[in-house]
Structure 1
Amino acid sequence: MGWVSVQFMLRGLQLHKQKHFENTGTVRFVTFSCYHNYNLFKTDKVKQIFIKHLKRVREKYKFKLYGFVIMPNHVHIVLLPINNVRLSQIIGELKSLSAREIIEYWTLLDLNIFEKLKVNRSGKQKFAFWQRKYYDYNCRTKEITLNKIMYCHNNPVVKGLVENLEDWEWSSYRWYYGLESVLEMD
């Protein structure tokens, strides 16, 4: 088989297309990453902006929030969309609102980070905070849902950001154990 045949076959596979299956009534484990996996969640202020918009989008779409963690270069959320709201609506609005305010905040600080975040979309130069795609997983059982919540809680320890789960302020762990938390769970 020649190189041209292989190229033709690969074009038809759409290797980078991630399918999202909307299972109504199913808890979802969602991961989305910062642009080029850069560590853009370096400051508490940036994390606070994200939390503010997570609260706002949650209030608007009334989804159930069961777990989350903000890592330096990505976010995990465990949620249950309700009232026939599509996950893509929730995540799209959350990413859009948070990116807009974070980039506006950085503009005020006159940071040199923008060179790394430049993208050309629709013939216009813009700045990207998030990767365009996200990953989602249907949690079909309570056990899977609990495993995903635990995964969120353990992530900062596994990545060496803190020694103890309760030391990471930016996850749902603190809420589950009655400690001061940045966000309440359902």
Structure 2
Amino acid sequence: MGKPNVFDNQRHVHFVTFSCYGNRSHLSRDQCKRILLGALNHELERHRAVCVGFVIMPDHVHVLIWFHETGKLSSFIRDWKRSSSRSIKLFLLDQSQFARTFPKEDPIWQKRFYSFEIMTEEKIEEKLTYMHMNPVKKGLVDNIAEWPWSSARHYDSGKSVGVPIGWPRM
């Protein structure tokens, strides 16, 4: 099986999904979500990227990301997963109830990520709605703005979500 195609030669918004290894719920702990957001902030600044929206679920992540330059997506996701993986694994291995639930040599993330390139504002809004509805559909909250681990509060009421949210210049 070859590598999946990632179209990163134009300045589209990328709707990216990646999952925890073995569909484990590594992100069920708030500290793991905080680590992931901290790493996202770092990589946004380092790669000069714009986060249009995100949601962190217990076993996967969705993000809408836009770059000022082309060809940045793969390195951004690699760096974000790499930096967050180390810290999340250290935290989980320090928690005795989690340390026994997976072999310590297992990775935190699945190797691949999935990207869907978005070319219109209507499609961006559709994907934002889809992402923000994830916690509601999974029964984690009743209202999208109640989930603290997404950009929904930013769009709903302008509140800070721990990550700067912006809009692409398409």
TM-score under structure 1 length normalisation: 0.82
Contact 1:169-1:182 within 8 A present in 2 as well: no
37, 46, 51: which one aligns with 2:32: 46
Q: Distance in 2 between matches of 1:117 and 1:31?
A: 24
Q: Which amino acid aligns with 1:171?
A: S
Q: Distance in 1 between matches of 2:7 and 2:29?
A: 34
Aligned partner of 2:50 in structure 1 is 64
Q: Distance in 1 between matches of 2:103 and 2:57?
A: 19
Q: Distance in 2 between matches of 1:28 and 1:127?
A: 28
Instruction: Report the alpha carbon displacement of residue 104 of structure 1 after superposing the two structures with TM.
Output: 1.4
The percentage of aligned residue pairs carrying the same residue is 35
Contact 2:13-2:118 within 8 A present in 1 as well: yes
115, 119, 124: which one aligns with 1:136: 115
Query: Which piece of structure 1 moves more, 151-160 or 18-27?
Result: 18-27
156, 159, 165: which one aligns with 1:179: 159
Question: Is 1:18 the equivalent of 2:9?
Answer: no
Structure 2 gap segments, 5+ residues each: none
Query: SS where residue 100 of structure 1 aligns?
Result: helix
Q: Which amino acid aligns with 2:152?
A: Y
Instruction: Report the alpha carbon displacement of residue 114 of structure 1 after superposing the two structures with TM.
Output: 5.6
Q: Which amino acid aligns with 1:181?
A: V
Q: Distance in 2 between matches of 1:23 and 1:128?
A: 29
131, 134, 144: which one aligns with 1:155: 134
90, 93, 96: which one aligns with 1:104: 90
Q: Distance in 2 between matches of 1:96 and 1:81?
A: 19
Q: Distance in 2 between matches of 1:45 and 1:178?
A: 24
Q: How many pairs align? A: 165
Aligned partner of 2:144 in structure 1 is 165
Q: Which amino acid aligns with 1:101?
A: S
Instruction: Report the alpha carbon displacement of residue 111 of structure 1 after superposing the two structures with TM.
Output: 4.5
Residues 171 and 112 of structure 1: CA distance in aligned 2, closer, same or farther (over 3 Å): closer
Query: SS where residue 149 of structure 1 aligns?
Result: helix
Q: Which amino acid aligns with 2:55?
A: V
Instruction: Report the alpha carbon displacement of residue 115 of structure 1 after superposing the two structures with TM.
Output: 5.7
Structure 1 gap segments, 5+ residues each: 1-13, 119-125
Q: Whose radius of gyration is greater, 1 or 2?
A: 1
Q: Distance in 1 between matches of 2:141 and 2:101?
A: 30
Aligned partner of 1:92 in structure 2 is 78
Q: Which amino acid aligns with 2:162?
A: V
Contact 1:156-1:165 within 8 A present in 2 as well: yes
Contact 2:148-2:161 within 8 A present in 1 as well: yes
Q: Which amino acid aligns with 1:131?
A: Q
Q: Distance in 2 between matches of 1:140 and 1:133?
A: 23
Query: Which piece of structure 1 moves more, 105-114 or 145-154?
Result: 105-114
Instruction: Report the alpha carbon displacement of residue 141 of structure 1 after superposing the two structures with TM.
Output: 1.0
